[in-house]
């Protein structure tokens, strides 16, 4: 009798936190009171777990801006950066700087995105989202380096510079004078 009263008052105090698991647990305790040594503790743990899940769900993941080239093979570049962000619980937003035609055998072509369109992508991200950090990868030309550096400096976000210049197979991904531009503009 006391156990049922304690369960009912605990359940009433936790109104709105009833989960199917918690309700099933209470019903099981009512039917089998001798099998459960500490039903109020069990109910407390279920309620705490439910609250923790709700609190975690309300907090959005940190946003990370990835500014890099796209790898059609999916093993490097933006695709790898997005996978890394997801694995670490971050939300990746992006600005594509170049498109590559590549696979596990090599790079078959590189098509640079015009700097004004990269700026438009960055402006769209910063207009709506609030990245906690940014990471650059392949910046193919000095003009792209300048456009990205200017926008990221204005945004004042922590920055990781990963100057991708050559593929894993040794194929050049940037123009020769890009190296000097990156050295000059890197924070």
Question: What digits encode the pLDDT tens for the residues 39-85?
Answer: 556 666 777 777 777 766 667 889 999 999 999 998 889 999 999 99
What confidence tier does 171 reach under pLDDT thresholds 50, 70, 90? confident
Residue 9, pLDDT score: 44
Q: Do 148 and 122 form a contact (C-beta atoms < 8 A)?
A: yes
- 49, two tokens: 């777990």
Share of the chain above pLDDT 90, in %: 45
Question: Any residues with CB less than 8 A from the CB of 53 and at least 6 apart, and which?
Answer: none
Helix, strand or coil, per DSSP, at residue 129:
coil
Spatial separation of the C-alpha atoms in residues 179 and 139, rounded to whole Å: 10
Residue 60, pLDDT score: 82
């Amino acid at each position: 009798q006391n156990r049922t009263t304690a369960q009912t008052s605990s359940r009433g105090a936790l109104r709105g936190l009833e989960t199917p698991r918690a309700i099933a647990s209470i019903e099981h305790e009512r039917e089998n009171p001798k099998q459960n040594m500490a039903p109020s503790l069990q109910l407390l743990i279920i309620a705490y777990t439910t609250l923790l899940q709700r609190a975690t769900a309300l907090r959005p993941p940190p946003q990370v801006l990835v500014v890099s080239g796209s790898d059609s093979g999916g093993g490097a570049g933006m695709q790898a950066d997005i996978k890394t962000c997801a694995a670490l619980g971050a939300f990746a937003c992006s600005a594509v700087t170049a498109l590559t035609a590549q696979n596990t055998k090599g790079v078959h072509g590189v098509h640079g995105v015009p700097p004004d369109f990269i700026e438009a992508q960055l402006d769209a991200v910063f207009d709506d989202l609030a990245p906690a950090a940014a990471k650059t990868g392949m910046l193919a030309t000095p003009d792209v380096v300048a456009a990205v550096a200017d926008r990221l400096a204005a945004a004042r976000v922590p920055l990781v510079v990963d100057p991708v210049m050559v593929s894993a197979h040794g194929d050049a991904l940037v123009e020769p004078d890009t190296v000097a531009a990156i050295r000059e503009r890197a924070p």
